Amino acid sequence: MIQVYIDADGCPVKDEVFKVAARYKIKVFVVANKYQNIPVDPLIEMRVVSGGFDAADDWIVEQVTPQDIVVTSDILLAERCVKKKTRVLGPKGNEFTEDNVGMAVANRELMQNLRHMGEMRGGPSPMDKKARSNFLGKLDQIIQSLRRG
C-alpha cells in the first residue's frame, strides 16, 4: 500500500499532496517538529516528533518502504530514503534517484561552503505555477508507477 510522507517544516506543496492523495485514496503522514494545521481527513495524519535536529527525518527514514513516497527539499533526508529504495520527490518536481542524489549532496555542500565564505547569498528560487505543475505531474507519475508495481 502506497503512503506519502511529507517533511512538513517549510514544505510549500502540502495542499497539492493532500489533493492528489485524496484522489487516489492514499494515506499521508505530515511529519514536523511542531503541530501544523492539516485537513480533517482520516487519510491525513499529523506526526509531531520531538527531540533533536533531525528527529523528523529520523522518524520518516524508520517508517518508509520501497512502496512509499517522501516529499522533501532536504537533500540529506532524500539521500537516506533513496538508499532504502523509497521514491523521493522535491517540491519543484525533481525526483531524487540513485543516479542523481550523490550529485545533489555534493552541490549542497558546495553551495553551503560558498555561503559560509560570503561568495553567495540567498536560497532557492520561490515556487511558481510552473514548479507546482511540475510537482503535480511528477507525483502523479510516481503514484502510477508504484501502482503498476
The pLDDT of residue 124 is: 64
Close Cβ partners of 143 (under 8 Å, ≥ 6 residues apart): 2, 20, 24, 26, 69
The 10s digit of each residue's pLDDT in 32-78 is 999 999 999 999 999 999 877 789 999 999 999 999 999 998 999 99
The pLDDT of residue 100 is: 81
Confidence bin at 27 (pLDDT 50/70/90): very high
The pLDDT of residue 56 is: 93
Structural domain spans, the chain: 3-148
The 10s digit of each residue's pLDDT in 84-102 is 999 999 999 999 998 887 7
Relative to beta strand 69-71, strand 44-48 is: unpaired
How many Å separate Cα 94 from the centre of its chain? 10
Confidence bin at 19 (pLDDT 50/70/90): very high
Q: What's phi and psi for 87, nearest 5 deg?
A: -80, 130
Q: Which amino acid is residue 5, in one-letter code?
A: Y
The pLDDT of residue 121 is: 65
3-148 CATH fold: Rossmann fold (3.40.50)
